Amino acid sequence: MNTIDEKLQPILSTVLHRNAGDPEFHQAAREVLESLGRVIARNPEYSDDALIERICEPERQIIFRVPWIDDENHVQINRGFRVQFNSALGPYKGGIRFHPSVNVGIIKFLGFEQTFKNALTGLPIGGGKGGSDFDPKGKSDREIMRFCQSFMVELHRHIGEYVDVPAGDIGVGAREIGYMFGMYKRLNNRFEAGVLTGKGLVYGGSRARKEATGFGTAFFVRSMLAAKNTDFEGKRVVVSGSGNVAIYAMEKILSFGGKVVACSDSSGYIVDENGIDLDLVKQIKEVNRGRISDYVEMKGQGCHHVKGGSVWNVPCEIALPCATQNELNGNDAKVLVENGVIAVAEGANMPCTPEAVHLFQKANVLFAPGKAANAGGVATSALEMQQNASRDSWSFAQTESRLEEIMTNIHAACHETSEEYGAPGDYVLGANIAGFVRVADAMRAMGVI
């Protein structure tokens, strides 16, 4: 495993102590601190004025009660969160997650990751994240609406187009953003389009936002493969998840000539050796809001569903974890390496455990961390903010070509930084350092804040 520079060890100790119950935040902070030893060895001024300690401490953390009434007329209570992590580069920016696993530690790790991810895009956005332990599964449309409205009744006073701009994440898509935007507009009596991103197209959304995270991951992997003189053509690909990120990563990979043979949801995975029928997955997930097992019933022959289990047992050359944090562990990594994987890219946020990342890097598997590989979603959110600010609406092609350019630049920044700091091809190190330096330079310019 990597080690932490002794000058940074006390900073990690403070993080562990201050956030005692937040293991995912420890994991994310440790990984970034492991990369920063090389920066302070070369530029000691980056450890002056407790700069790194300040970067590890959120600027503001908001926790609130969300009461709502279910269809049986019972009062339900959930907990809402918004962690405004860092605003050195722009307004706090990052998604809202609705999932029963959400707690302050999860939101904190996501906000921390978001800060560096957003810096890597090169666009003027700070880092934040929000969410609730509300479980959207099995809820009626009306229940979703009442929950979103109650969530926004509190959140509205903390956000704004120049303050904090939330968007979607797990469990939050265009429907939820619509309900939240409606309540924000009503409470503030102003049509402030730039306060949320991932909006519907008719009221200020951006073309290609829905596709952006998955497309961006595929663009990043294409650059990573190109740096090794290879491409997607004819390669077997396994994707975990079947939400927004997974679906549009698969779509772009198919257009690049890759063959996607498996994808999953929380109940299990499907394998289709003829190649996943993406239209069918879209019908099941985007229209029916159903389970991935429905695929086998609807498709008939040539495919099968495995209940539970690990999708990473399916042999592939390229693996894209696009579901959730820590979904791919050391055992999964071992199996993937044995089966000949050549590239792994995180479409989700921190889906690989530290042990898995270590095994991939040891085996010389190309590995792209989420803060680089999945930055296309938030980058396109920033393009949505640009369109809102200029009261404009760009074509799909124009938006997608900006996204492609941004992902190519992120790849180049990570790759060049890894070379500059003596670890060529280490995208974890490259992403952490390139993101850190941008945030750190802005913070140093602003004094002790």
Catalytic residues: 129
30-38, 61-69, 373-381, 438-446 -> range binding ligand GLU (CB under 6 A): 373-381
Binder of ligand GLU out of 324, 381, 399, 418 (CB under 6 A)? 381
Please say whether the beta carbons of 245 and 374 come within 8 A: yes
Tell me which residues in 300-359 interact with ligand GLU (CB under 6 A): 349
Binder of ligand GLU out of 120, 368, 378, 406 (CB under 6 A)? 378
Binder of ligand GLU out of 377, 403, 417, 436 (CB under 6 A)? 377
Distance of CA 38 to the CA centre of its chain: 26
Sheet containing 92-98: which strands, arranged edge to edge? 60-69, 75-86, 127-132, 92-98, 164-167
Q: Would you say 144 or 375 has its CB closer to ligand GLU?
A: 375
Tell me which residues in 161-200 interact with ligand GLU (CB under 6 A): 167, 169, 197
Q: Would you say 37 or 131 has its CB closer to ligand GLU?
A: 131
CB of 176 to ligand GLU, least distance (A): 12
> What is the rounded distance in angstroms from the CA atom of residue 303 to the CA atom of residue 285?
18
Segments in 314-367 forming alpha helices (H): 330-338, 354-362
> What is the rounded distance in angstroms from the CA atom of residue 86 to the CA atom of residue 287?
36
> What is the rounded distance in angstroms from the CA atom of residue 128 to the CA atom of residue 115?
7
> What is the rounded distance in angstroms from the CA atom of residue 153 to the CA atom of residue 77?
14
Q: Name the percent of the chain in helix, strand, coil, to the closest 5.
A: 50, 15, 30
> What is the rounded distance in angstroms from the CA atom of residue 173 to the CA atom of residue 2?
37
26-34, 137-145, 376-384, 390-398 -> range binding ligand GLU (CB under 6 A): 376-384
Q: Would you say 214 or 430 has its CB closer to ligand GLU?
A: 214
Q: Would you say 5 or 169 has its CB closer to ligand GLU?
A: 169
CB of 425 to ligand GLU, least distance (A): 24
Please say whether the beta carbons of 340 and 319 come within 8 A: no
Q: Would you say 271 or 322 has its CB closer to ligand GLU?
A: 322
> What is the rounded distance in angstroms from the CA atom of residue 158 to the CA atom of residue 91?
12
Which amino acid is it at 141? D
CB of 132 to ligand GLU, least distance (A): 14
Q: Would you say 171 or 258 has its CB closer to ligand GLU?
A: 171
Q: b/e map of 165-201 (b: 16 or more CB within 10 Å)?
A: bbbbbbbbbebbbbbbbebbbeeeeeebbbbbbbbee
263-271, 290-298, 374-382, 424-432 -> range binding ligand GLU (CB under 6 A): 374-382
Q: Would you say 38 or 93 has its CB closer to ligand GLU?
A: 93
> What is the rounded distance in angstroms from the CA atom of residue 439 to the CA atom of residue 240?
31
Contact between 388 and ligand GLU by CB under 6 A: the answer reads: no
Taking CB atoms, the residue at the shortest distance from ligand GLU is 95
DSSP 375: T
Binding-site string for ligand GLU from residue 120 to residue 159, where x marks contact by CB under 6 A and - marks none? ----------------------------------------
CB of 167 to ligand GLU, least distance (A): 3
Closest CA to 375 of 93, 54, 92: 93
CB of 378 to ligand GLU, least distance (A): 4
Q: Would you say 214 or 377 has its CB closer to ligand GLU?
A: 377
Tell me which residues in 78-107 interact with ligand GLU (CB under 6 A): 93-95
Which amino acid is it at 212? A
Strand 268-272 and strand 303-307: the pairing is antiparallel
> What is the rounded distance in angstroms from the CA atom of residue 38 to the CA atom of residue 421?
7
Closest CA to 276 of 266, 267, 285: 285
Q: Please tell me whether residue 103 adopts helix, strand or coil conformation.
A: coil
53-61, 138-146, 299-307, 377-385 -> range binding ligand GLU (CB under 6 A): 377-385
CB of 94 to ligand GLU, least distance (A): 5
CB of 340 to ligand GLU, least distance (A): 30
> What is the rounded distance in angstroms from the CA atom of residue 173 to the CA atom of residue 206?
13
Report how many residues bind ligand GLU under the rule CB under 6 A: 10
CB of 331 to ligand GLU, least distance (A): 26
Binding interface with ligand GLU (CB under 6 A): 93-95, 167, 169, 197, 349, 377-378, 381
